Amino acid sequence: MKKILASICFAVCAIAFSGCADFLDKEAYGKDTALKTKDDVMGAIYGLYHFVSPKWSEEICGRGHMWLECASDNILIGRDRSSVDEIREFRMSPSNSNDVNRVWEVMYQNVAKANNIIKLVPGMNLDPAFKNQALGTALFFRGFSMLWMVPYYGDDTNGGIPIITDKTSPAEIDSPRPSHVLRNYEQIIADFREAGDKLPYFSELSADEIGLPHKAAAWAYAARAALYASMYDESYYDVVIEMCDKVMSMTGADKRELYVDSSNKADSYRNLFSKYQNHGTEYIFSLEGSTTNGARYHGVTFQNAGWRYYNTWGYFTPSLELYNAYEEGDTRRDVTILYPGDRFIFMGYSWTFAGYSPDGTATQIAWSGSAHVSAGMLCRKFLWPWENSSATNYAEVTELRDKLWNTLNVSLMRYADVMLMKAEALIWTKGEGDAEAKQLIDDIRERAGLPRNSQATKAQLQNERRCELAFEFQPSRFIDVVRWGLGPELLTKPLHSVISKGVDGQIVAEPVEVYPARNFNPTYNKVFPIPERAFTGTVNLTQNKGY
C-alpha cells in the first residue's frame, strides 16, 4: 500500500476533474478522459483515493462526518465550537462551516471518477483479470462514496440523494431527488454486489496492492448498506445475512475471524488497535496508515495540544453515558476511554490522567490550588502510535506535529462489525434468543473478558454494537440510534462527563452534566441539512425539511 499512498498525490493532480467545484459539474460527469494503458488505469484508481489525500486528510478523513457523531449520545465536543453546537442540538444550518460541508462535493467527485473508469475500461485492450479488478474497484468506490453520504441526507420523508451512474447523461444530472432513499440503497448494494463478483480475494492482492478493495470488503459494505436500508424495509435484513455469510464462509488464507492474541488473550482488544493488526485476520477495509500522508482522525480524538509534547487536537471526547454502557470487567472500556486516574504512555512519558505531567509541575488540564483538576475523559482507542513514539524518536507518527499522520490504519470495516450485523439481522428476523446470534455475540463478549451469557436480545445487541465499535470512523452510533427508532429516547436526554480533583493524594471523579436535554424530531432530525454549497448550479435539488 505504500506505493498506492505515494501515488495518490500525483494521481489527484493528473486525473481530470479532480477539482470540481460541485457535484453538478456536467463537464466532469460527461467528459471521457483518455485512458490508454494499464498505468493510466492504475492512475485513475489511485485518483479514487482523492478523499484521503493530503488536501482532504483533515477535512474529510480527520473530522469530516465525525462532527455529525456529536449529535449522538457517545461523543461530546472536546473543544468549544458554536457550529458543532448547532449539529448537536439538531439546529444545523445548510451554511454550517464545519468540515462535513465538504463531504458532499468530494464524494460526488469520486463518483465521477469511478463512472469514468466504468465507461472506459470495458473497451480497452487489457488483461481480463486486471480489467475486472479495475471495474470492481470503481464500482466499490462508487458505492462507498454514496454510502458515505446517503444515511446522513436521504430518508423516507425527503427522498434520496441524486443517483449519478456511468449511464447518466450530462442533461440528466440535475434531476429531482429519488422519491425514497431506498432507491439509493438499491444502487449501492448493486454496485457492491457487482464489485464483489469482479474483485480479487484479499489473498490475491500483491504487496503493492494491499489496501485496495477486495471481495470481502465489497460484501461487507453491501451488508452495511442493507443494514441501513432495513430501517425502512426489514426485508433488507435478508441481504445483510446473505452478504455476511459470504464473508464468514471464506476459508484458507482469506478466512476472516476475530483477532485473539494467543500469547496475551486479556489484551486482545487492546492489541487489535496496533499497526501489527492493520491487515490481520479481522481486517476488512481501512484507510491506510502512514507517517507521510493519510487520514488524521486518530490524532483528532486525543488531548488538545498533547501537553506540548505533540499537537493532537482533542475534538471528540467520550460521554459518561458511553462509559457507563460497558459492563464491569469489559476490557473494551479501558481500551476505548481514558478515565481520571488511569495510567498511560504518551510520546515517551508515563502519565496519570488528571495527575502530574512528566516534569511534576503541570496538570492534565488546569491547576487549582493544591488540587489537580481536569474535566472529562479522553478517547484512548487509537493511542498506539503515540505510545510507541517519543520526542526523540518519531517512530510511528509524523514529525510534522500538526499533521497527525501515523502508522495505525483507520479501521472502516472489520470482522466484528460483520458478526454484529449478522447477529442483528438474525434477532430482528428470527426473534430474540436466536441460537446463532447468541454464539456470535458470545464470541465478541469472550474477547472482551465477559461471560458467554448472551440472551441475544435487541437491547443487548444494541449495547454490544455500541461498546465494540465506539469512536470508529464509519460505524455511526448516530445512524444506529436513529435507525433503531431510539432517537426520541436517547437523543433527548442530558449528557454527562466527569470532573476530577486531587483529594488526599487520590484522584476522585464526579459526574457533571455537560449538555442539557435536547429536542429531537424523529421526522426531520434523522437526517442533516444538505450543505449549501451543494446547490451551486442546480434547479431540482431540494433541501431536507426542517432546515
The C-alpha atoms of residue 486 and residue 231 are separated, in whole angstroms, by 12
Most confident of 54-63, 178-187, 298-307: 178-187
Is the pLDDT assigned to residue 18 strictly greater than 70?
no
275-298 pLDDT tens trace: 999 999 999 999 999 999 999 999
DSSP H helices, 283-414, are 297-300, 320-325, 331-336, 384-387
361-373 pLDDT tens trace: 334 443 333 333 3
Residue 25 φ/ψ, nearest 5 degrees: -65, 100
Which class is domain 2-72+92-250+524-535? mainly alpha
The C-alpha atoms of residue 478 and residue 474 are separated, in whole angstroms, by 11
The C-alpha atoms of residue 419 and residue 160 are separated, in whole angstroms, by 28
The C-alpha atoms of residue 242 and residue 246 are separated, in whole angstroms, by 7
Q: What is the pLDDT of residue 503?
A: 76
Give me 458's grid cell.
435487541
398-417 pLDDT tens trace: 999 999 999 999 999 999 99
**Region for 64 from its dihedrals, namely left if φ exceeds 0, alpha if ψ lies in -120 to 50, beta otherwise:** left
DSSP H helices, 154-203, are 182-198
pTM of the full structure: 0.94
User: What letter represents residue 334's amino acid?
Assistant: D
313-356 pLDDT tens trace: 999 999 999 999 999 999 999 999 999 888 899 999 888 887 44
Q: What is the pLDDT of residue 137?
A: 98
Cβ–Cβ < 8 Å for 498, 321: no
Cβ–Cβ < 8 Å for 475, 345: no
Is the pLDDT assigned to residue 499 strictly greater than 90?
no
The helix-helix angle for 182-198 and 236-248 (nearest 10°) equals 20
Is the pLDDT assigned to residue 542 strictly greater than 80?
yes
Is the pLDDT assigned to residue 21 strictly greater than 60?
no
- Is residue 437 classed exposed, middle or buried when 0-12, 13-18 and 19+ CB atoms within 10 A define those classes? buried
Mean pLDDT of the chain: 90
Is the pLDDT assigned to residue 141 strictly greater than 80?
yes
The C-alpha atoms of residue 140 and residue 147 are separated, in whole angstroms, by 10
Q: How far is CA 463 from its chain centroid? A: 18
Lowest-confidence pick of 92-96, 269-273, 503-507: 503-507
Could you tell me the residue ranges of all domains in the chain?
Answer: 2-72+92-250+524-535, 297-391
- Grid coordinates 447477529 are at which residue? 423
Is the pLDDT assigned to residue 35 strictly greater than 70?
yes
Q: What is the pLDDT of residue 486?
A: 98
Cβ–Cβ < 8 Å for 499, 375: yes
